[in-house]
Amino acid sequence: MLVAAPAVAADAAEAGATVAAVEQQQPTNLGTVDVNGHAQRREPQSSKYVAPLVDTPRAVTVIPQQVIEQIGATSLQDLLRTSPGITFGAGEGGQPLADRPFIRGQASGNNIFVDGIRDTGGQQREVFNLEQVEVIKGPDSVYSGRGSGGGSINLSSKSPKLTDFTNVSLGGGTDSYWRGTIDQNWRIGETAGFRINILSASGDVAGRNAVDYDKFGVAAALGVGLGTDTTATLSFNYLDSNQMPDYGIPLYTKRGGATAPRENAQGVLDVPYDTFYGLTARDYLNNTVKSATLKLEHRFSPNLAIRNTTRYSETLNDYVVTNPGDGGNAVLVNGVWWMKRGLKSRWNPADTTANVTELFGTFNTGAIKHSFDVGAEFTHEINKNASWTVTTTSGSSCPTQLQTGVPYDCTLLYNPNPSDPWTGTKVLGAVTKNSTTTKSVFAFDSIELTERWLLNLGVRWDEYAVGGVDSTGKLVAKNSWDFVNYQAGLVYKPTPNTSVYASWATSSTPPTISAGDQNNSGGNGTGNLLTEVLDPEDTTSYEIGAKASLFRDQLQLSVAAFHLTRKNAQIQIDDGVYAQAGEVEVKGVELGVSGNITPKWQVFGGYTFQDSELVKGAVSVLAGPPRVVVPNPLVGLELANTPKHNVSLFSTYKVTSRFTAGGGVYYVSRSNGGNQGGAGGGANGVYAPAYTRVDAFASYALTDRAALQLNVQNVGDERYIIRTNGVHHADPAPGRSATLALNLRF
């Protein structure tokens, strides 16, 4: 999907730009101006995009700040529902409780960036400090290095400006909702600015019993030399989030495994969707994020600039959570089903040091114009992992049939009590430590062959290495991989504001991240491949599309058709024989729209169709004698977390000069369950049924500086499953909620 305006002036010129009459951002501006009335740049932040988006031969979505504010988003997951074709996976199968977006059927939790630098560590991200979000779809290792092949997400932070302003938002609502934000910018002298954003928020999750959260965040940035040829920006970010973790509700398998009777076709236990199986006296989830970033930029001339960005970050993902699918099968006692609560935990700090240097600009070779970006990236990541040993000393008693081991932590399967008493201890277990280094060089060039024909090229070389220490303190051998990725696209421009393109791109997924969202040491194979270091999985995509910027760049349209193939996954191909022969395929079409249809009517959204398939999967072997090799029953089925149809449309209409109304409609078709992006639901065929959700929005300007904003999420109180891992649990979506905010801008 395309959200783009023509290329604007360089950063230095933009930083010093002012407008004669500052127009405050109103709900119908949809990002055409920022919070201070300056022209809003709606291109991706990265200089790797060497051409305006209308001339970039890739499907790219830019979600502007105005949409972030209008939909009432409080998390990355809230925000990305506006971009069709993105789903979220469940926190299971060894994955942390963290953001796990799937793009074009591929797990992309390891492909989230902040201001162009990979945002490592398990996190559930906030939006209070974002100016826009950029999503590139399809294999993009040429942009980002190692990756899953589905695409990546870049979060662009708010930056200092050369003007004084204050933006305050105070909101309350149903389900104990409270949210307050302050966005303050001071101009310091002629060429410096300081900006600080503060967040305080708390509330319950609508429609989920006992699930609540509280957050506090601060983001500060100092920019000097703004509007000059040499600039420096130093920024700090801190976020502390505490919540009751939620692993949803069990599957039918809780009543006896795969052969247990189903209560419905989707395979989810038939209980009210507010049913909560956790323990408020024991369960918790804490995410803490700290980072410091220094960005230096110097412009040698209007056609040449250099930028260096250095970041150090620390994240902690720490939790104890009840998994209703663990703890063994439930038992029937005197006509009542009882279950023992399962438990998962994680202590996962991650530290990252990264440095990226880029030289970018334009030059001519005869009549041919080049827009280029070349650079190098160096990163060092330290990722520690451990589990908590949780010992229950007293709590809710178990019936005799479930008293094996600790005779506590039991509850009714169909009526669990999250307030059951619990006392006990937790001790941190053995810690594993993984150390990852990356060295990369890259180059991009947009070549204007003629007025109508452009050639877009990119290449990147990566050296990726992982070593570590296992839970016994033993060194794990360091393995490394070298891989080169490419992209090439040809663009034809029928008019200056339209384009038709064809492109090809690749991606590499090292085995240490192929099954998850974090770096793991090792990378060797299984069985006959035990002594061999596996090659990266390879993803290739072919894409054709068209883009148009209409009505003096007020409305942007896009369409793209793609064919993605991911190969080289390790699978079992015979009894005791393994090979890198696994393959998946996703074909589809994407439509996008963004901007003004009329001066009063604005839209943002699109439609994605995905036809996914497990092409080659692992066989299984039945114990003999004789041993029997059974073909994979999932071959030919759709992939997990890859619905065939996905529609999102958010629209507003300015009814009067003060009153604006609108809302969003979101439809997702049936989505198979499963772990780690494999084919759905195992032999159980568990899935999340199709759903349609409707949101409402209204804003009334009390004065030129104050407005009330009403958001009603899930107006119809649609009760649906947002995702399921297909093995243990399914996650119900939040129910209906309403919030009212007072927005003040000075």
> Percent of the chain beyond pLDDT 70?
92
Q: What is the pLDDT of residues 619-639, one digit of tens each?
A: 999 988 889 999 998 899 999
pLDDT digits (tens, 9 = 90+) for 452-498: 999 999 999 999 999 999 888 888 889 999 999 999 999 999 999 99
Secondary structure element (H or E) that encloses residue 219, with its range: strand 212-224
- Average pLDDT of span 262-273: 94
pLDDT at 510: 93
pLDDT one-digit tens code per residue, 402-435:
988 888 999 999 999 999 999 999 999 999 999 9
Give me 291's structure tokens: 């980072």
Compute the Cα dihedral for 681, 686, 690, 692 and give only its sign: negative
pLDDT in tens, 227-243: 999 999 999 999 999 99
Higher pLDDT, 725 or 380: 380
pLDDT of residue 2: 37
Q: Stretch 139-163: mean pLDDT, rounded?
A: 93
What confidence score (pLDDT) does residue 91 get?
63
Encode 109-141: b = buried (16+ Cβ within 10 Å), e = exposed: bbbbbbbbbbbbbbbbbbbbbbbbbbbbbbbbb
Per-residue burial over 433-456, b if 16 or more Cβ lie within 10 Å, else e, is: bbbbbbbbebbbbbbbeeeeebbb
Report pTM. Answer: 0.91
Beta carbons within 8 Å of 561's beta carbon, 6+ residues apart:
543, 544, 545, 588, 589, 590
pLDDT score, position 37: 41
What's the rounded Cα separation, in Å, for the pair 55 and 36? 29
What tens digit of pLDDT does each residue of 349-358 get?
Answer: 999 999 999 9
User: What is the residue type of 550?
Assistant: L
Are 629 and 575 in contact by the 8 Å Cβ rule? The answer is yes
For residue 310, give the nearest of 374, 376, 372 by alpha carbon: 376
Greater pLDDT, 120 or 205:
205
**Phi then psi dihedrals of residue 68, to 5 deg:** -55, -45
Model confidence pLDDT, tens digit, residues 692-702: 999 999 999 99
- Candidates 57, 50, 135, 144; CA nearest to 504 is 57
Percent of the chain with pLDDT over 90: 79
Helices and strands (H, E) in the chain, number of each type: 4, 42
The whole-number pLDDT of residue 563 equals 98
In sequence order, which residues have a C-beta less than 8 Å from that of residue 392 and are 6 or more positions away? 406, 408, 409, 422, 423, 424
Residue 517's pLDDT is what? Answer: 62
pLDDT tens profile 195-215: 999 999 999 999 999 999 999
Q: Specify the amino acid at residue 340.
A: K
- H or E stretch covering 12: helix 11-16
Band (725; pLDDT cuts 50, 70, 90): confident
What are the strands, taking DSSP E only, across 413-474? 422-428, 432-448, 453-469
Q: How many CB atoms lie within 10 A of CB 334?
A: 6
Element (H, E) at 238: strand 230-243
Which CATH code of 3.30.710.10, 3.40.50.720, 2.40.170.20, 3.40.50.150 fits the domain covering 11-745? 2.40.170.20
